[in-house]
Amino acid sequence: MQYTVYTFEVSPLIPGNDLVIASLSELAFDSFQETESGVEAYVPTQFDTDELQNALLELTIEDVIIHFSKKEMEDINWNAEWESQFDPIDVDNLCRVRAPFHEAKEGVLDLIIEPKMSFGTGHHATTYLVLQKMFELDLKDKEVIDMGSGTAVLAIAAEKLGAKKVWAIDIDEWAYENAIENLERNSCTRIEALLGVEDLLEGKMADVFIANINRNILLAQAKHYENATKSGAPLLLSGFYENDVPALLEAFSAFEWKETRVRDEWTMLFLLRK
Amino acid sequence: MAKEVAGFVKLQIKGGAANPAPPVGPALGSKGVNIMEFCKQFNARTQDKAGKVCPVLITVYKDKSFEFVIKTAPAAVQLLDAAKAKQGAAEPNRQKVGSVTWEQVKAIAEDKMPDLNCFTVESAMKMVAGTARSLGIQVTGERPF
């Protein structure tokens, strides 16, 4: 996502910075970094509107002097350093998630992922848990939805496990473009990468539904998943902690609980559509 | 053996809103940390504080691993929240002038005691009340000291 940074000179810094951050957090700014002379405030460029500018010009805090300037940040891959040297991940003896610069492992499913600032390299416990579970399901000739697909690692695994059609959906532009690159890298032909949100689910019915995102988004989208999953079909949910499970089970009451799996506090739920 | 620290990064991010763009990206990416891992953890741990500013102190180790601590919101942020809850959301893009009670000031003072360098709740309350004044927020009710 493209961000704009506003650099604020604040005097005096204490309590000025706290006051500035508090006031800006009421606007569209979502993150802040304090500096030696004030604070840098970050806003998604799409929200950097005239209205915001006017609100800033009217911003006054008693006894605090404020000056600001702004510039647009580059939209580059900030994770490149880590991505250039990470270790491959072996999920049990089932598959290896690796970058193009790693060796493949004999006898296991090979998933080649060059992440580019997207989620899903197998390093995270949630990706690991979902991959592990996918191997226990029969995906042959199935239609699969991978919601919040990130690098598309799960979608790619689904195709390699025999799925006849996979929709890989993500809201993030970096993820969408990265997914397309990774599909090519793995010579996938039965996956359709889509950029967007839950309304893309309309008209689709999954034999297997997978969503590794986070609690709040899963709760918000529960009804949409319900409508896009065939009766009796499995739903794999992950991206949350064990203490989030009760809230999720309540929201996904159209599904029958089958299994909860935990790794490093992260949790995966395996449910069946009633 | 304790891991060797490569550096500290201090940011303030709204709960559930960490993403690999700036400031998280450049601050952590340059140290070789897996930004995606940080975002996923931070967002899961702050999912109940969506929209509220959470100060976070990240310790980055030489082996590119990291740990982080999330602190409670700054007194000023808590004051604005308290004032807003009382008067209801007015025009969202104008600076709000509202009021809070001394009980609310006390609750915030107690919450922020560890960060305020104050020895007594009373002195912490005075600092919080001063912050309220700077924000144009009135403190109502009987002054307890």
**DSSP secondary structure string, A23-56?**
HHHTTT--EEEE-SSEEEEEEEGGG--HHHHHHH
Q: What is the pLDDT of residue A265?
A: 92
DSSP 8-state symbol, A144: E
Q: Give the pairing of strands A208-212 and A38-44.
A: unpaired
Q: How far apart are CA A38 and CA A9, in angstroms?
A: 5
What's the CA angle centered on B64, arms B59 and B67, to 5 degrees?
A: 30
Distance from the A191 Cα atom to the nearest Cα atom in chain B, whole angstroms? 24
Q: What is the pLDDT of residue A59?
A: 87
In one letter, which amino acid is A114?
E
If we measure between CA atoms, which residue out of A74, A45, A80, A268 comes closest to residue A178?
A: A80
Collect all residues of chain A within an 8 Å Cβ-Cβ radius of residue B64: 82
Distance from the B51 Cα atom to the nearest Cα atom in chain A, whole angstroms? 8
Q: How far apart are CA B10 and CA A228, in angstroms?
A: 42
Mind listing the pLDDT tens digit for each residue in A99-133? 999 999 999 999 999 999 999 998 999 999 999 99
Using a 10 angstrom Cβ sphere, with 0-12 exposed, 13-18 middle and 19 or more buried, the burial of residue A70 is middle
Q: What is the pLDDT of residue B109?
A: 93
Looking at the partner chain, which of B10, B43, B134 has a beta carbon nearest the beta carbon of A64?
Answer: B134
Q: What is the pLDDT of residue B98?
A: 83
Q: How far apart are CA B134 and CA A157, in angstroms?
A: 56
Collect all residues of chain A within an 8 Å Cβ-Cβ radius of residue B26: 78
Which two structure tokens, joined as six digits, stand for B6?
């490569």
Subunit contact B92:A26, Cβ cutoff 8 A: yes
List C-alpha distances in Å: A85 to A79, A123, A177, B96.
11, 13, 21, 48
What is the pTM assigned to this prediction? 0.89
Instruction: Give yes or no for a contact between A31 and B24, defined as CB atoms under 8 angstroms apart.
Output: yes
**Is A79 at the interface with chain B, CB within 8 A?**
yes
Q: What is the pLDDT of residue A263?
A: 96
Query: Within a 13 Å sphere around the CA of B85, how many CA atoms are in the beta-carbon half?
Result: 9
What are the residues whose beta carbons fall under 8 Å from the beta carbon of B84, sequence distance 6 or more?
A: A26, B90, B96, B98
Q: What is the pLDDT of residue B93?
A: 39
What are the residues whose beta carbons fall under 8 Å from the beta carbon of B126, sequence distance 6 or more?
A: none
Q: What is the pLDDT of residue A163?
A: 98
* Length of chain A as a residue count: 274
Q: What is the DSSP secondary-structure string of B11-68?
A: EEEEBT---SSTTHHHHHHTTT--HHHHHHHHHHHTGGGBTSEEEEEEEEETTS-EEE
Distance from the B141 Cα atom to the nearest Cα atom in chain A, whole angstroms? 22
DSSP 8-state symbol, A64: B
Subunit contact B12:A119, Cβ cutoff 8 A: no
Q: What is the pLDDT of residue B113?
A: 87
Mind listing the pLDDT tens digit for each residue in A177-191? 999 999 999 999 999
Percentage of the residues of chain B whose pLDDT score is greater than 90? 59
- In total, the C-beta contacts within 8 angstroms joining chain A to chain B are 156
Mind listing the pLDDT tens digit for each residue in A205-244? 999 999 999 999 999 999 999 999 999 999 999 999 999 9
Residue A21 clears pLDDT 80, i.e. is over it = yes
Collect all residues of chain A within an 8 Å Cβ-Cβ radius of residue B14: 25, 30-31
Q: What is the pLDDT of residue B85?
A: 59
Subunit contact B35:A82, Cβ cutoff 8 A: yes
The count of other CB atoms within 10 Å of the CB of residue A118 is: 28
Mind listing the pLDDT tens digit for each residue in B81-125? 888 755 444 443 344 568 899 999 999 999 988 877 788 999 999
For chain A, give the mean pLDDT: 96
Instruction: Give yes or no for a contact between B131 and A92, defined as CB atoms under 8 angstroms apart.
Output: no
Residue A257 clears pLDDT 50, i.e. is over it = yes
Q: What is the pLDDT of residue A79?
A: 95
Q: What is the pLDDT of residue B97?
A: 66
ipTM above 0.85, yes or no: yes
